[in-house]
Amino acid sequence: MFYFSFLSFATVKNYLDHLSSDGTVESFTVERFEHVSTKIKICSVTILIIFIVIISFRKIILTYLRQSIANALTYLKQFIDLIISNWKKESIIHKIILLSLIAIGICIRLMHLMQPISYDEAFTYIYFAGRPLPIALSDYLYPNNHLFHTLLVHLSCSVFGNGLWAVRLPAFLAGCFIVPLTYLSSRRLFNNTAALLASAGIALSNHLIEFSVMARGYSLITACFILLIFLGTEIMRDKKGSWFWFIFISIIGIYTIPVFIQPLAIIIVWLLTNLRKNKLQIKNVLLAIICIGTLSAILYLPPAIVSGLDNIIANDSLKSSSFENLAKYLVVFKLDLWETWFRGMPLAAIIVLASGIICLVFIQRKKQILSLILSVLIVSIVFVLIQRTIAPVRVWQYLLALFYIIATGGFTNLLRKINFNYANKIVFILIILFISFQFPRMYTLKPAHWGEICENEETALFLKSYLKPNDQVKVDMPTDYPLEYYFRQNGIDIAYIHIKKYYPQRVIFVVNSASHQTINEVAKDYYLHKLKSIKKMEFTELFEFDGRNEMDF
């Protein structure tokens, strides 16, 4: 690394351009090179010092690592044995319902796996995952780069090609795993009946389904958070090896998106609350925080050097505002959260969930659960006040999974308190009714931004046969990257979009009304009366300016 910091700009630029799929890395400029070179020298010296420390204490470190890995493998075996043991104890109907819920969760996500690509997904693939790993894992100029997810997408596309299903495969698998992970965590916190009811909600949640088929890192951090809840209960039971997996999953979450620090903080506060009398475990919590922080910092060194630390910890999407504006936005956020979390949810299901929360907070008062709820409130409020902003609803989806766990747990406990003998039967009936009502609605599920994305592939296919060598395509955000993705998919030269030709034969304008675009905006430098419509769809219209006669721009 130290050696590379002394190479010339031309040498490094040629090397990076050679790695890039389109032959050029536009974001690597002279100014950025000079900025990065100094940081690389400093980091090289820092890494050298760390390396010397590790070598000096290698015996202690290796002994600790061997012991930790041995405990982790032993714990993994015990975990598998526990699942098998619990499975054998369950009734036939319980097994059938659980397997059905997992299958339904997978099927409903498979049905939507090939829906048209969105702007964020296309941007993620083209700008990050589709590039060589050294560039993809060090460029953090935009918060779209969910690094661990980018790594998985890159590997998936390297093996399976750049088809839409391959781009979405990591998010899809994580979204499918949320269902059984919810079952495990809910069963540990409550009981097996509550676990089934929570799994039903997760399997058919509109919001979670949507992000399970979206090539972004949010389903990954939701799965990590649910798994940390389970591991948290294992730590409270003093299970050896659970700390290793806790640290491992935490690092994956943070490396996916830095905002995972917030859900991790919730679990840490929850653990400290329940382990405050156990000095050894408190010490383990502090050691875990140090390990997670150190290893995460090492993983974020490349993007911190190349893109700057500010782009990682304070990106443009989370700008601070005044407390007055924060209070106003909170009202809008609550309405948006309600609409997003419960869109398509039957009123009866919402009543069941609400009664569960009320019962748990005001009647049952289970200490472990109340401390978890309190940890969520404290950490969320502290983070919002420190940042003086509220993250978009999609960032909070990990709390939706927790909400289902807590609400269904409270409801099943209420049923058992009223009549234990019929509680299981009532829950089974409710699950069947919920599936019968919700599954047909989820089958026809469409993203909220459907109009923006549904015609981009059709547009690309039309242009494939319509475009001529000296033509140019002019398209604005948010249609630009999705259209470019379909250009790549169908073997159309992306130079039509990217390279501005001073004397094009024709200019094709793509206007999407669902994105509130107008031809006046897209073709603002051209005489509108000389444009003609060449294709009109429900949301998209294509216009042509013939530059062979005269130039009016």
Q: If you search the block for the tokens 């609350």, which residue do you land on? A: 273
183-240, pLDDT tens digit by residue?
Answer: 999 999 998 999 999 999 999 988 899 999 999 999 999 999 999 999 999 999 888 8
Structure tokens at 24: 């050029």
Say what percent of the chain tops pLDDT 90. 33
* Residue 43 domain-assigned (yes or no): yes
Q: What is the pLDDT of residue 108?
A: 92
CB atoms within 10 A of CB 81: 10
401-436, pLDDT tens digit by residue?
Answer: 999 999 999 898 888 877 767 778 888 888 888 888
Q: Clarify whether residues 456 and 397 are in a common domain.
A: no
Q: Clarify whether residues 215 and 265 are in a common domain.
A: yes
* Residue 107 domain-assigned (yes or no): no
Q: If you search the block for the tokens 């919700």, which residue do you land on? A: 438
287-315, pLDDT tens digit by residue?
Answer: 899 999 989 988 888 888 777 777 777 66
- The answer to whether 432 and 103 are in contact (CB under 8 A) is no
Q: Clarify whether residues 43 and 163 are in a common domain.
A: no
Q: Clarify whether residues 432 and 458 are in a common domain.
A: no
* Residue 302 domain-assigned (yes or no): yes
Q: What is the pLDDT of residue 552?
A: 46
- The answer to whether 199 and 412 are in contact (CB under 8 A) is no
In sequence order, what DSSP letters do the residues of 431-458 get, joined into one string?
Answer: HHHHHHHHHHHHHT---TTHHHHTTHHH
Q: Clarify whether residues 435 and 496 are in a common domain.
A: no
Q: What share of the chain is helix, strand, coil (3-state, %, to 5)?
A: 75, 5, 25
CA-based nearest residue to 475, from 422, 536, 415, 519: 519
In sequence order, what DSSP letters do the residues of 418-438 get, joined into one string?
Answer: H-HHHHHHHHHHHHHHHHHHH
**Beta strand 472-475 with 506-512: parallel, antiparallel or unpaired?**
parallel
Crossing angle for the helix pair 367-387 and 261-274, nearest 10 degrees? 140
Crossing angle for the helix pair 420-443 and 397-418, nearest 10 degrees? 150
- Residue 546 phi, psi (nearest 5): -90, 110
35-55, pLDDT tens digit by residue?
Answer: 666 666 666 666 677 777 777
431-441, pLDDT tens digit by residue?
Answer: 888 888 888 77
What's the total number of domains in the chain?
Answer: 3
* Residue 69 domain-assigned (yes or no): no
* Residue 513 domain-assigned (yes or no): yes
Question: In residues, how long is the chain?
Answer: 553
Domain that holds residue 9: 4-56
pLDDT value at 519 more than 90: no
Q: What is the pLDDT of residue 533?
A: 86
| Torsion 428-430-435-440 (CA) sign | positive
- The answer to whether 196 and 435 are in contact (CB under 8 A) is no
99-128, pLDDT tens digit by residue?
Answer: 999 999 999 999 999 899 998 999 999 888
Q: Clarify whether residues 119 and 40 are in a common domain.
A: no
* Residue 328 domain-assigned (yes or no): yes
- The answer to whether 285 and 247 are in contact (CB under 8 A) is no
Structure tokens at 60: 């202690």
The model's pTM is: 0.87
Separation of first and last alpha carbons in the chain = 48
- In the DSSP assignment, the letter for residue 25 is -
Q: Clarify whether residues 376 and 475 are in a common domain.
A: no
- The answer to whether 220 and 151 are in contact (CB under 8 A) is no
Structure tokens at 315: 């990106």
* Residue 101 domain-assigned (yes or no): no
Q: Which residue has the higher pLDDT, 75 or 29?
A: 75
Calpha distance 56→466 (Å, rounded): 67
